[in-house]
Chain A
Amino acid sequence: MDTGRKAPVSHLQDDVEGEENTILIRRTLRSGQKFYYDGNVIVMGDVNPGAEVVATGHVIVMGQMRGMVHAGAEGDESAMVMAFRLLPTQLRIANHITRPPDDEVPPGTFPEVAKIKNGVVTIESYQTGRAAV
């Protein structure tokens, strides 16, 4: 029985996304392992150095993101990368390719979000409910 997608509660409409598929990876991606998905990806584990996650939508890592990550791989500039610990070797959003500065001191253990702000990929600490701002 398919009644079509239920409209989200009206005042939440702008903040609820449901058009894309989302996939859950329930393990750690290790060096040499690559994951591509047409949609959003949630990793319940770490993404280790030498591993790659590529998604056309957002990438959320419930663990450490230390590998290569590409969100919005088909050009979506609103795509984000979020991780409990965001230490990517390289981070790409849409066609922006970035890497951490060579002299960067690794941040502490707290969640961060990477997104395009004013045309530049920026990382800031994740604050509940403000990821989409």
Chain B
Amino acid sequence: MGEVIVVTSGKGGVGKTTTTANLGTGLAQLGNKVALVDADIGLRNLDVVLGLENRIVYDITDVTGGHCRLRQALIKDKRYEGLFLLPAAQTKDKTSVNPDQMKELCGDLRQEFDYVIIDCPAGIEQGFKNAIAGADRAVVVTTPEVSAVRDADRIVGLLEAAELRDPRLIVNRVRYKMVKAGDMMSIEDIIDILAIDLLGVVPEDEMVVITTNRGEAVICDDRSRSGQAYRNIVRRITGEQVPLLSLEEGGLMNRIRRMIGFK
């Protein structure tokens, strides 16, 4: 029985789709049978990122609506034997699928695949609820920005409420130079707020954009730093331990602070 992992974030544009494509590709490279599910109905783009757009005949709503069999809607990847995509519908909206249907779909997929990875839409509404409904585990993606971390925190709270315990964190688009200069949130700052396990850190890397535009995953690029980061993340997903970061501690001082009152 396979494992269903949802990739989620709250905020859009932080790298959910990129992460889903790379995790899927990486897990397939290791010989796993992997199904990627694009749950971003109405804004599908996992197919584009994987370079599979021109192969779509049926989509997820055709499966949940009973218009085709699951097998018919699954698109086989160009490069990797074990990698499949269940595309989102582009001409429908998020209400065309409900959480019960997603649960059933995930139940069917996990019979056949080692890993089922769900690309969640941004937001906390129906699309999010659908995407997490059938998941066993969650991976939360954020960037080192206050707003993205705030949204990630909201998502972690909602995952807890939905009894999806112990989500793991990927911090994407980190620019080490900026962090060093104190111009970007550090990993410690982020972990300090979210207090969840770190699955990995992916640097800002133009190779992500270059490979994505070619319909390839950066994990296939042996030299890129982001590809290496995703390869490490894939290994951790298959069971390796992540070393914990130590949090900086400040000294004890006796000082008085004043708060500013509102008129």
The digit string for B191-207, where 1 denotes a CB below 8 A from any CB of A, is 01101000000000000
- Complex: A91 Cα to B251 Cα, angstroms: 24
| A98–B261 touching, CB < 8 Å | yes
**Which partner residue on chain B sits nearest A49 by CB separation?**
B150
Evaluate whether A110 and B257 lie within 8 angstroms (CB atoms) in the complex, with A31-B157, A48-B193, A98-B262 already known.
no
Near B by CB (< 8 A), chain A positions 77-133 give 91, 96-101, 104, 107-110, 112, 114, 120-125, 127
Size bracket of the B interface: 20 to 34
| B249–A124 touching, CB < 8 Å | no
CB of B14 to closest CB in A, whole Å: 15
Residues of A within 8 A of B244 (CB): none
Residues of B within 8 A of A28 (CB): 195
The secondary structure that dominates the A interface is loop
Residues of A within 8 A of B153 (CB): 30-31, 48-50
Q: How many residues of A contact B (CB 8 A)?
A: 34
Residues of A within 8 A of B251 (CB): 108
**Which partner residue on chain A sits nearest B248 by CB separation?**
A109
Residues of B within 8 A of A48 (CB): 153, 193
Evaluate whether A50 and B253 lie within 8 angstroms (CB atoms) in the complex, with A96-B261, A97-B261, A123-B259 already known.
no
- Complex: A101 Cα to B258 Cα, angstroms: 8
Task: Determine if B54 is an interface residue (Cβ-Cβ < 8 Å).
Answer: no
| A122–B261 touching, CB < 8 Å | no
- Complex: A104 Cα to B249 Cα, angstroms: 18
Residues of A within 8 A of B151 (CB): 31
Evaluate whether A124 and B257 lie within 8 angstroms (CB atoms) in the complex, with A30-B153, A31-B153, A98-B262 already known.
yes
Near A by CB (< 8 A), chain B positions 129-183 give 150-151, 153-154, 156-158, 160
Residues of B within 8 A of A52 (CB): none
Task: Determine if B245 is an interface residue (Cβ-Cβ < 8 Å).
Answer: no
**Which partner residue on chain A sits nearest B252 by CB separation?**
A110
- Complex: A98 Cα to B154 Cα, angstroms: 24
17 contacts between A and B (CB under 8 A): A29-B157, A30-B157, A32-B158, A48-B193, A96-B261, A98-B262, A99-B262, A107-B250, A108-B251, A110-B250, A121-B259, A122-B258, A123-B256, A123-B257, A124-B254, A124-B255, A127-B254
Binding site for B on A (CB under 8 A): 27-33, 46, 48-50, 64, 66, 91, 96-101, 104, 107-110, 112, 114, 120-125, 127
